């Protein structure tokens, strides 16, 4: 069958995984354009031309893990470590709220300093001050009781990328003490508790094959997350993957569009990594079916210390500058920003 027919099937949600494999193996630039148009029309059916913003607060660069791809890994002695105080975090929220943001994402390494008691206090304070905002956490793997306590304190969403749904590939990306099964259990627990859950993966990470990507897409199909975060893998000079090839803009856009068609109602960010891979990467992401952007609200003084990969953009600007810059970018592709929590549409 021709790829154009496969894309039509995908839009009707009748495609099988054999056909998806063919598309992954043989898609051309022309197929990609057809796919992007299909993804845009599906996004517009559910969300119109609205783009939702999430204000990212990178509150700790300490991490006990040693993920091979990440600049914050424990083994990187050159990484500069910092922790924001609760007051720093609240100031970021206040600035974000004034800029029209209605979702705050607290993201950090796996840092034992931030115990359940400390996290719950922070979440409670934000919940109390901003009852109209969503609170998203992205703190990696914790136990179910911890996830529950933070949910009870007022958190609504959790981002935990599965990174790859292929166990052998997971072992290429992580040391032995990290297991895909643990990660997937955590995702299930989060969903069970009632969080809106986001998973996701890097495109073009070392060792990733088409079979890995098929496993990822199959996992997304069965798990039905509310959000999917994908961006290109970008090497960091002080990690074991320093000399590996970066993931490409084109492959990331292709996967964004595929995901939009597989999960029509998903909240799909055009990530900072995509904007780092190409100066117009985020705009192109919106044109391939994405509908979320994540402006950085972290204090400028710490931004360069949260270096997951080399060349990360938006590390020199104030939050207000970032917000204005994003507004221009969104308008340049005919979309508009909503002052809204940006919850998933119900199906």
Site for ligand SAH in 274-303 (CB under 6 A): none
Q: Min. distance of Cβ 67 from ligand SAH in angstroms?
A: 7
Helices (H), ranges, the chain: 3-11, 17-26, 29-47, 86-98, 116-129, 144-152, 167-173, 180-193, 210-223, 249-262, 272-277, 281-287, 300-303, 319-332
Q: Which among 341, 273, 254 is positioned nearest to 34, based on CA atoms?
A: 254
Binding mask 127-146 for ligand SAH (x = CB under 6 A): -----------x-x------
User: In this chain, which of 105, 160, 213, 337 binds ligand SAH, going by CB under 6 A?
Assistant: 160
Structure tokens at 338: 């909503």
Q: Within 10 Å of residue 161's Cβ, how many Cβ atoms?
A: 18
Residue 73 touches which of ligand SAH, ligand SF4, none (Cβ within 5-8 Å per kind): ligand SF4
* CA dist 323 → 56, 196, 293, 306 (Å): 11, 25, 10, 19
Interacting stretch for ligand SAH, rule CB under 6 A, among 29-37, 48-56, 155-163, 278-286? 155-163
- The per-residue DSSP string of 126-149 comes to HHHH-TTSEEEEE-----HHHHHH
Q: Which region, judged by CB under 6 A, interacts with ligand SAH, from 129-137, 145-153, 158-166, 336-344? A: 158-166
Query: Which one of ligand SAH, ligand SF4, none is in contact with 138 (Cβ closer than 5 to 8 A by kind)?
Result: ligand SAH
Which of 55, 140, 289, 342 touches ligand SF4 (CB under 6 A)?
140
Residue 114 interacting with ligand SAH (CB under 6 A): no
Which residue, 100 or 240, is less far from ligand SAH as judged by CB? 240
CA 166 to chain centre: 19
Binding of ligand SAH by 105 (CB under 6 A): no
Near ligand SF4 in 309-338, by CB under 6 A: none
Residue 42: C-alpha distances to residues 3, 255, 292, 342 (Å): 18, 15, 15, 17
Strand pairing of 50-53 and 292-293?
parallel
Residue 296 DSSP code: B
By CB under 6 A, which span of 65-73, 80-88, 272-280, 296-304 interacts with ligand SF4?
65-73
Residues within window 68-87 making contact with ligand SAH, judged by CB under 6 A: 69-70
Q: Which of residues 84-113 bind ligand SF4 (CB under 6 A)?
A: 109-110
Tell me: does residue 169 bind ligand SAH (CB under 6 A).
no
Stretch of 11-19, 66-74, 202-210, 310-318 contacting ligand SF4, by CB under 6 A: 66-74
Helix (H) or strand (E) holding 292: strand 292-293
DSSP-assigned letter for residue 47:
H
- Structure tokens given for 43: 């996004």
Site for ligand SAH contains 104 (CB under 6 A): no
Binding site for ligand SAH (CB under 6 A): 69-70, 107, 109-110, 138, 140, 160-161, 163, 202, 231, 233-234, 236, 273, 308-309
């Amino acid at each position: 069958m021709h790829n154009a027919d496969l894309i039509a099937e995908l839009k009707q949600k009748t495609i099988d995984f054999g056909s998806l494999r063919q598309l992954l193996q043989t898609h051309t630039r022309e197929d990609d354009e057809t796919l992007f148009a299909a993804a845009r029309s599906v996004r517009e059916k559910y969300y119109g031309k609205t783009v939702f913003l999430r204000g990212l607060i990178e509150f700790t660069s300490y991490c006990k893990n040693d993920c091979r791809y990440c600049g914050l890994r424990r083994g990187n002695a050159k990484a500069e470590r910092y922790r924001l105080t609760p007051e720093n975090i609240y100031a970021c929220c206040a600035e974000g709220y004034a800029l029209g943001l209605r979702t705050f994402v607290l993201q950090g390494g796996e840092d034992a300093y931030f115990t359940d008691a400390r996290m719950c206090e922070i979440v409670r304070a934000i919940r109390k001050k901003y009852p109209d905002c969503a609170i998203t956490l992205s703190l990696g793997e914790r136990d179910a009781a911890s996830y529950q306590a933070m949910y009870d304190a007022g958190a609504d969403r959790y981002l935990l990328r599965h990174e790859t749904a292929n166990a052998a590939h997971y072992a290429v990306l992580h040391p032995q003490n990290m297991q895909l099964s643990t990660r997937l259990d955590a995702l299930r627990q989060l969903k069970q508790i009632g969080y809106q859950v986001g998973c996701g993966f890097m495109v073009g990470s070392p060792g990733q094959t088409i079979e890995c990507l098929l496993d990822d897409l199959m996992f997304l199909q069965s798990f039905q997350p509310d959000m999917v975060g994908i961006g290109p893998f970008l090497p960091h000079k002080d990690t074991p993957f320093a000399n590996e090839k970066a993931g490409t803009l084109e492959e990331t856009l292709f996967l964004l569009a595929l995901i939009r068609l597989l999960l029509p109602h998903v909240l799909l960010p055009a990530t900072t990594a995509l904007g780092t891979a190409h100066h117009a990467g985020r705009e192109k992401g919106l044109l391939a079916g994405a509908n979320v952007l994540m402006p950085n609200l972290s204090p400028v003084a710490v931004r360069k210390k949260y270096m997951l990969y080399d060349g990360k953009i938006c590390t020199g600007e104030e939050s207000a500058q970032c917000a204005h810059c994003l507004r221009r970018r969104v308008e340049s592709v005919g979309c508009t920003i909503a002052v809204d929590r940006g919850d998933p549409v119900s199906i």
